[in-house]
Structure 1
Amino acid sequence: MRVTVCAVGRLRKGPEKVLIDDYLDRFDKTGRGLGLGPVTMREVEDKKGGGMAAEAALLSKAIPEGAAICCLDERGKLMTSPDFADQLGKWRDQGRADVALVIGGADGLDPALRDRADMALSFGKMVWPHMLARVMLSEQLYRAASILSGSPYHRV
């Protein structure tokens, strides 16, 4: 199952990019034998300033056709890492070819895009800058692959 991270904004060189690249590389290596990956990052920018609706249109174009859609949203479901791993495994086992993990811009996600999602995931009640959300998502993808592979990376 291919994984696409669709995000508003461009990731520039810096510590966040180093972390994201490291975790996504680990995910690709661990997930390959599990039928997970590779991960593709699709970044969009609304250069015309059209707000959430314009960002949603760009994000929608970045989402692979037929993908399970998981939006990151503060109002989403709080999950444990094993629960997130189980959800990825379920989508894979259901024969989903793609999953899209969607991260909005500074104002969040357009409600119409959130409503289309198969799932909304929250990293807690606090709002996170989208670059840190990408780091946390990348780490959780690697952790999920580690859990599914039986690796000792995740400790309870």
Structure 2
Amino acid sequence: MQLHIIARGKIGRGAEAELVSRYETRMRGTLVLTELPETGGRIPAPPSPHVDVVLDERGTSLPSTGLADRLRVWRDDGVREARFWIGAADGHDEERRASADLLLAFGKATWPHLMLRAMLAEQLYRAEAILAGHPYHREG
């Protein structure tokens, strides 16, 4: 299953971009990042079936193992792509939120968008490691 981060704004260069790139490389093609302008922009239609995960501070906060479990269920159900949407400074419109298969929060804090991309990429890598039984993720 392809994991696709779709984010508003450009990450440019810097520590955050370096972290995202590091996880893209580690995930060997299963992680894709698409950057959209602050408003507008289009991406190709998703493959069928797919799921949309909208990052939103009012969403559900999952532990790393909970995210891995969701990915496992989707993968085993034949989902071809999980799209993770990171909004612009004002967040997502109600239509995007309402159509989401999952509203996901990284806690109650509001995170800078560039940092959130790196955090999400790391969590997706961690979820893959959990599912593969890799020692990257340690309980306890």
TM over 0.5: yes
Aligned to 1:94: 77
Report deviation, 1:27.
2.4
Aligned 8 A contact 1:8 1:44 in 2? yes
Please give the alpha-carbon distance, in whole angstroms, between the structure 2 residues aligned to 1:63 and 1:129: 27
Match of 1:81 among 64, 67, 75: 64
Hey, what does 1:104 align to over in structure 2? 87
Offset, 1:65: 4.3
Q: Aligned partners of 1:145, 1:154: CA distance in 2, in Å?
A: 10
One-letter identity of the residue aligned with 2:80: A
The structure 1 segments of at least 4 consecutive aligned residues displaced by more than 4 Å after TM superposition are: none
CA RMSD for the aligned pairs? 1.5
Aligned length: 138
Contact 1:24 1:39 in 2 (8 A): yes
Any stretches of 5+ residues in structure 2 without a counterpart?
Answer: none
TM-score (norm 1): 0.83
The 1-side partners of 2:45 and 2:2 are apart by 11
Aligned positions of 1:1-156 closer than 5 A: 1-28=1-28, 38-46=30-38, 55=39, 58=41, 61=43, 64-66=46-48, 67-156=50-139
Q: Post-superposition shift, 1:62?
A: 5.1
> Whole-Å Cα distance in 2 between the matches of residues 135 and 63 of structure 1?
24
**Taking structure 1 as reference, are residues 128 and 111 closer, same or farther at Cα in structure 2, changes over 3 Å only?**
same
Long gaps (5+) in structure 1: 29-36, 47-54
Q: Give the alignment's TM-score, normalised by structure 2.
A: 0.92
CA contact (8 A) 1:6 1:62 kept: no
Q: Is the 8 A contact 1:84 1:144 kept in 2?
A: yes
Q: State whether residues 5 and 83 of structure 2, in contact with CA within 8 Å, keep that contact through their aligned partners in structure 1.
A: yes
- Between Structure 1 and Structure 2, which shows a larger proportion of helix residues? 1
Matched to 2:124, the amino acid is L
Following superposition, the deviation at residue 63 of structure 1 comes to: 5.8
Percent identity over paired residues: 41
Change (3 A) 1:113 1:69: same
